[in-house]
Structure formats: C-alpha cells, structure tokens
Amino acid sequence: MPKPSREIARKHHYVPEMYLSGFVGRKGRCFGVDAKERRPFKSRPKGIAAQRDFNLIEAPGIPPDALEKELSKLESVLAPGIKRVRETASFGTDGKDREDVINLITLLAVRNPRTRNDMQRIYTEMFRAMLAAPFEDKAKWEAVVEAMKAAGKWPKDEPSDFEGYKEFVENNLDKVKAHQNFSLEMELEALETLYWYFDARKWRILKAKEDSGGFVTTDHPVCIRSPGSLNYGAQFAPGLGLSDRDVLFPLSSKVALVGRMEGGEDIVELDDKGVADFNATVMGYAIKQIYAADDQYRYTRPAGKPLGKGCTLLQDSNLKVRES
C-alpha cells in the first residue's frame, strides 16, 4: 500500500492552543484539575482540550483534515489581536482586536463537544422521526411512493410493500445517526449568525489585581449568567439574545470579559472576591477540566463558606462533573 503524501492531523483542539497559552505558568504549562478523574495535572496547551478527529471530514477528493487545517490558519490570524488585548487590557482604537476576540468567542461557543453532542442528539431524533413518519399509516406511505415515482426517484419495478419497508425501518431505526459532516456544516453556518449576537454586546474588560489569584478557564470557556448572580454551570442557559443575561469569557489569567446588552465598554479592576465570583461561574461550565496558571486561584463557594482555592479544589464537594 502506498504511503500517504503527508501525515494527516488527527488530534484536533476544540479549545485552541493559542487561547490556552494565556493560562500557562512556569515552564509554559497549565495547572489543571480533572473533575471526572479527580486528579490534578500539569500540561502544555498542546496536550489538553483536544479530541481525536473532532474536525474530521469524510468526502471524496477532500483531505480528512482540511477543516482542521483551515481552522488552524484562522486561529493564527486571530492570535496577534488576542495577544494585544491580553497585554494592554484594551480593544485598541480601530476595532480590529475587538473583532478578533468576538470571532474567538463565537468559535468556542459553537464548536465544543457539549454543543456537538447535544445537537447531534437533536439531529438524530429528527432524522429518525422523518424516516418513521411515512409508516404511521399505509396511505402516507403510498403518497410518498407516488411522489417519488413522479419525480423519477423510485427504482423501476421495485415493489413498494408497506409492511416489508415498515419492518425494515423499525428494525434499523436505531442505527440512523447524524453524520459528523452534517454537524460540521451546521456549526459553520451557525458561526455567522452567532457572531452578531456576541458583537452586539457591550464588552467590559476585567483586570485581575495582582493579589487576586487570577482568572481560570475550562474546556468550555464561554459562559452565561444572570447579572449579579452565581450560576455554577447551568448547561442549558437562556438564549444569548436575552438582555438580562451576561456572557462571561476569560481571556487570560489576568484579563477577562463580560458581554452585556446595555451599558458601555469600559475597564474594571477586580479584587480577589470579584475574581472569585467570576471563576465560580466559569468553573461551573466546565465539561470536566479546569485550567489555570497555577493552583493559587480563588473561587466563590456557597453562602457562608470562605473562598475556595485551586490547591484544595479536589476536596470541595461542590466540584461536579458536567460532561455532555
């Protein structure tokens, strides 16, 4: 068998390495906590928030990793603007850096394992319902067959036995699943629509004070919460279009963003309590992993309890697994 002309990329990041680089500490590593496996770990961005074949395409004449390659190019284009916002805690004057940040937020909100799995379940149920619908009664099936014959799509001399086709569909319906190609197409279409939801918000830049412990991120970093409240990770939060919901997005261990429908775009410094409140919601949205520059970050715990710290997070009974 001839060798492929080039190596195909199979490890695909759903949270980009360039984004995770904002949460590295010593030796360029993130300090992580895995809520499912109940263990701490240290890793370079290359080793986390990735899934085999997450962006794989199956189509004749198209390299399987074509989308992965194009997404990598896009992330490289966004990276300089993201870096400037991190370093200056400012969107600059021409709006380009703000645009780059909004594009990154949109990518992360749309393309992640939780959303992918949720949408694939919906698509699969829809496809199964469509296949089963003609067999609710014989008249429906006959109407479908006649329509296909009129369109020239029914095989010549093929019998249209209602009971036989019905039995075949019922016996094989559980094998019908939405193909990943379809999911990828839907995600790409959603990017353009959702970009404008995020762009319409007024983005407040948050700066963590030196002694605050810093911001954290997760394997699902775009979060929604009611203003002034702690969310602790409602997976099915209200829609982005509602004016009484904030979008939270950590950009680095020192800079984070809050998108609101009202108010202006400004810069606010947060002390340890403010950073801890922000972190609590972000951590609650994690699928299973939390990332930070070190283990000294803080997060708000339920009323009456002191602030939690990263170094003791695994002993906290509120740490839950929220895998999709």
- The DSSP annotation for 222-272 comes to -EEE-TTS--S--TTPPPTT-TT-EEEEE-SSSEEEEEESSS---EEEE-H
Q: Looking at the domain assignment, is residue 21 inside a domain?
A: no
Q: What residues contact 145, with CB distance under 8 A and at least 6 apart?
A: 154, 160
pLDDT of residue 235: 40
183 and 208 in a single domain? The answer is: no
- Could you say which of 179, 199, 219 is where a domain stops? 199
User: Is residue 107 within 8 Å of residue 55, measured between CB atoms?
Assistant: no
- Could you say which of 172, 199, 226 is where a domain stops? 199
218 and 308 in a single domain? The answer is: yes
Label residue 83 left, alpha or beta by phi (over 0 means left) and psi (-120 to 50 means alpha). alpha
209 and 306 in a single domain? The answer is: yes
276 and 231 in a single domain? The answer is: yes
Q: Looking at the domain assignment, is residue 193 inside a domain?
A: yes
Low-confidence ranges of the chain (pLDDT < 70): 1-6, 227-244, 322-324
Q: Looking at the domain assignment, is residue 142 inside a domain?
A: yes
Q: Say what the pTM is.
A: 0.88
pLDDT of residue 238: 45
pLDDT of residue 186: 93
222 and 249 in a single domain? The answer is: yes
162 and 246 in a single domain? The answer is: no
Structural domain that includes position 126: 111-199
Q: Looking at the domain assignment, is residue 208 inside a domain?
A: yes
Q: Looking at the domain assignment, is residue 76 inside a domain?
A: no
217 and 168 in a single domain? The answer is: no
pLDDT of residue 244: 62
Q: Looking at the domain assignment, is residue 125 inside a domain?
A: yes
Model confidence pLDDT, tens digit, residues 233-277: 444 444 555 556 899 999 999 999 999 988 899 999 999 999 999
Q: Looking at the domain assignment, is residue 99 inside a domain?
A: no
209 and 309 in a single domain? The answer is: yes
311 and 208 in a single domain? The answer is: yes
- Could you say which of 180, 199, 218 is where a domain stops? 199
CA dihedral defined by 163, 169, 171, 173, rounded to 10 degrees?
A: -160
136 and 194 in a single domain? The answer is: yes
Q: Looking at the domain assignment, is residue 82 inside a domain?
A: no
| Residue 52: strand, helix, or coil | strand
Q: How many domains does the chain have?
A: 2
pLDDT of residue 14: 96
242 and 152 in a single domain? The answer is: no
Model confidence pLDDT, tens digit, residues 174-216: 999 999 999 999 999 999 899 999 999 999 999 999 999 999 9
217 and 262 in a single domain? The answer is: yes
